[in-house]
A = this chain, B = another copy of it.
Amino acid sequence: MKTDNSNVLRLRKLGIDTHTENIIFMRSNCQVCRSEGFTANTRVAVNRGPDSIIATLNVITSDLIDEDEAVLSEVAFNKLHAAEGDLVMVTHMKPILSFSEVRAKMFGNKFNAPAIDQIINDISHGLYSKIEIAAFVTVCSGDNLALDEVIYLTRAMINSGSTLSWNEKLVIDKHCVGGLPGNRTTPIVVPIVAAAGLIIPKTSSRAITSPAGTADVIEIMTPVTLSLEQIREVVRQEGGCMVWGGAVKLSPVDDLIIAVEKALDVDSAGQMIASVLSKKAAAGSTHTIIDIPVGLTAKVRTKEEAFLLEYYFRAVGLAIGMEVEVMITDGTQPVGRGIGPALEALDVLSVLRNEAHAPADLKERAVQLAGLMLEKGEAAEKGKGVERARAILESGQALEKFYRICQAQGGFKEPEVAHLQHDVLAAVSGVVRSVDNRKLAKVAKLAGAPKSPGAGILFKAPVGSTVKQGEPLFTIYSESEGEISYALSYLHSSNHIVELVSP
């Protein structure tokens, strides 16, 4: 191909954030567009020294930029390590050979291991456009992946990122499958398990569509953005950590795939299993406990679904040398009282501190999970795990370990909730029959969570409780009057967040 100066443009910065998408803006009449025949939406290679990315072309027909200039989206600037004024060479991209495997899968072929390796490798190098990732997600959706394909996918995802390893025979981890509001067992389970002497290098994610992710909640109390080296040091010192997984690229492809899955609102069991287990394996875990909440408002709706997931989790674990145990839990209503980073952190601390008003449901879940982990990790006899976990929690050992882990990660601070509060009152007296978790989450988000970490909801009317007319159902926390009124105007247009019936 042509590599003379006619393909060279000078970079300008206009501060355009396209999330993870590489976009290049070029003049329609620049010499590159004309000589290469590039038009809007062409996928092109942008080369700067040894660095190269694939970007989608947006064409500028005004004089916003000069003919010898190009603008990159912010993420593309970062990936190229480029600055304004740098010269880049823009050329045709080479065809992505691995996409023919995705096409073959559309026609009913099965993936083999080299095919999946190459696809994941190409996605991790940014070669796939969003629509190509959408096609890959689609052919992997539903029950379109057989067990062996899920195993290949898991292995490919492990190999695509960084890994941690520990000189320990037994490294344990946990994961909860999908979104029950307030289900923050991690910051309780990690200190219990670590206090019992086990190794638990826990990574968590931030909120994508919810009012708080586990990493967001922990960040209220301690820094979670640690390097691999810092994680090693914290775990070496304390036996456990509670960090944000996104900072250490244990499974970089996952972010790209999940972004498309969220946009399509598609949950693929095979993708999910590969995503979870690859991150656990990359973090060096030998044993993993999977919490599957089952309920009509949870991700998994029936026990049958949960049993099938259990089979896949265990079989894939076996293939990659990891022991996986599944715990099927109640997913019919939210856990604890807080919704939003600081409010959920307060629930966690009240459990760790054995306060009288601590949410019993959150404590019980944490103790059950930790108990199973202690048994798996041979830190408790079979059948004695829960008892041991409860003892560690109630004796204050868990709280002490929690503080030590926080100190190792950079220090502990108390959660601070937003300074504006607004009670939403019961219009009539009655017994709570149901709670719409999605609408409740939406109110918390409109109030500012998770961007305003102190914002959210303190929920006071769990299913089965009796409320009197004029008593608060929940309290909205927010940093601004505008957000409160915004949340209220949504509330007024939306009925039945809390359904009351005569006692």
Residues of B within 8 A of A25 (CB): 16
CB of A130 within 8 Å of the partner chain: yes
- Tell me if A129 and B263 are in contact (CB < 8 A): yes
Say if the beta carbon of A383 comes within 8 Å of chain B.
no
Cβ contact within 8 Å between A35 and B135: no
Contacts of A489 in B (CB 8 A): 2
B contact residues around A259 at 8 Å (CB):
41
Report A453 CB to chain B, min CB distance, Å.
14
Q: Which residue of B lies closest to A260 (CB)?
A: B131
A266 interfacial contact with B, CB 8 Å:
yes
Residues from chain B with Cβ under 8 Å of A59 in the complex: 16-18
Least distance between A433 CB and chain B CB atoms (Å): 26
Which chain A residues in 49-75 approach chain B with CB under 8 Å? Answer: 58-62, 64, 73-74
Interface size on A, residues (CB 8 A): 62
B14 touches A62 (CB 8 A): yes
Find chain B residues with CB under 8 A from A130 CB.
130-131, 134
CA distance A493 to B2 in the complex (A): 10
Shortest A432–chain B CB gap in Å is 27
Q: What residues of B have a CB within 8 angstroms of the CB of A16 in the complex?
A: 25, 58-62, 64
Decide: A15 near B60, CB < 8 A? Known: A1-B493, A138-B134, A138-B139: yes
Contacts of A451 in B (CB 8 A): 37
How far does the alpha carbon of A458 sit from the alpha carbon of B41 in the complex, in Å? 30
> A40 on the interface (CB 8 Å rule)?
yes
19 A-B Cβ contacts within 8 A?
A: A1-B490, A13-B62, A14-B64, A16-B58, A16-B60, A16-B64, A17-B40, A18-B41, A20-B41, A35-B486, A61-B74, A106-B266, A107-B142, A107-B143, A129-B263, A130-B134, A131-B133, A131-B260, A132-B263
